[in-house]
A and B are shown apart, each in its own frame.
Chain A
Amino acid sequence: GAVVSQHPSWVICKSGTSVKIECRSLDFQATTMFWYRQFPKQSLMLMATSNEGSKATYEQGVEKDKFLINHASLTLSTLTVTSAHPEDSSFYICSATVGQGQYFGPGTRLLVL
């Protein structure tokens, strides 16, 4: 099946620093990738849709200047959390589409101290 990887799997950073999370489709090309955020015991919340070669589309309430998304190739999308604060601590998950199917990465746990 379609494999999606994320790096890093977990990161701890100080408040005010920026963190970059990579999402890769390993065995297929993905023109569209999605970024989600998930709080404990809750469902996935879509943050943005990332399209290769164009600007990301952000969901209402998601600050595009805080969560920078770049989709420079058909196999790589990155999410940068800029000037991270403790309230940004969460589980960030990306996904990539193959046809109508959507396949998720293993997630990145971010803890901002």
Chain B
Amino acid sequence: GENVEQHPSTLSVQEGDSAVIKCTYSDSASNYFPWYKQELGKGPQLIIDIRSNVGEKKDQRIAVTLNKTAKHFSLHITETQPEDSAVYFCAANPGSARQLTFGSGTQLTVLP
């Protein structure tokens, strides 16, 4: 089955700096890669996603890049703000089952 690895497990940045979180996947059949933000005590919130026919997608301060050949994708957050502090999960969809395989999560802390 699909295996998703996520790094780093923790990340601290100064407010205004950029943050990058990286994930790799194993199943070349995966074609959908969402990113979720989870605040303490809440459910994950979909913040951005990318499909395998696209190499990059941006939404304001958030961007995701995908390298299908290398089987990795990354989340980029620019101009970080304290409210960006949360746990971020990457995920991959290996196909028709619509199940997601999640990475282990990254605790992002934005220091004021």
Q: Which A residues lie at the B interface, using CB under 8 A?
A: 1, 4, 6, 32, 34, 42-44, 46, 49, 93, 95, 97, 100-107, 109
Contacts and interface: CB of A to CB of B under 8 A. Distances in A.
Interface-central residue, B34, B44, B99, by most chain A CB under 10 Å: B44
A103 B37 CA distance: 12
A86 to B, nearest CB: 20
26 contacts: A1-B46, A4-B43, A43-B89, A43-B102, A44-B44, A44-B102, A46-B99, A49-B97, A49-B99, A93-B43, A93-B44, A95-B43, A100-B32, A100-B98, A101-B34, A102-B98, A102-B100, A103-B46, A104-B43, A105-B43, A106-B42, A106-B43, A107-B41, A107-B42, A107-B43, A109-B41
Nearest to B42: A106
Interface in B53-112: 89, 93, 97-100, 102-105
Contacts, number: 48
Given A34-B99, A43-B104, 17 more contacts: A43-B103, A43-B105, A46-B99, A100-B32, A100-B51, A100-B93, A100-B98, A101-B34, A101-B46, A102-B34, A102-B46, A102-B98, A104-B44, A104-B45, A105-B43, A107-B42, A109-B41
Contacts of A109: 41
Determine the interface band of chain B, counting residues with CB < 8 A from chain A: 20 to 34
B36 A104 contact: yes
Contacts of A102: 34, 46, 98, 100
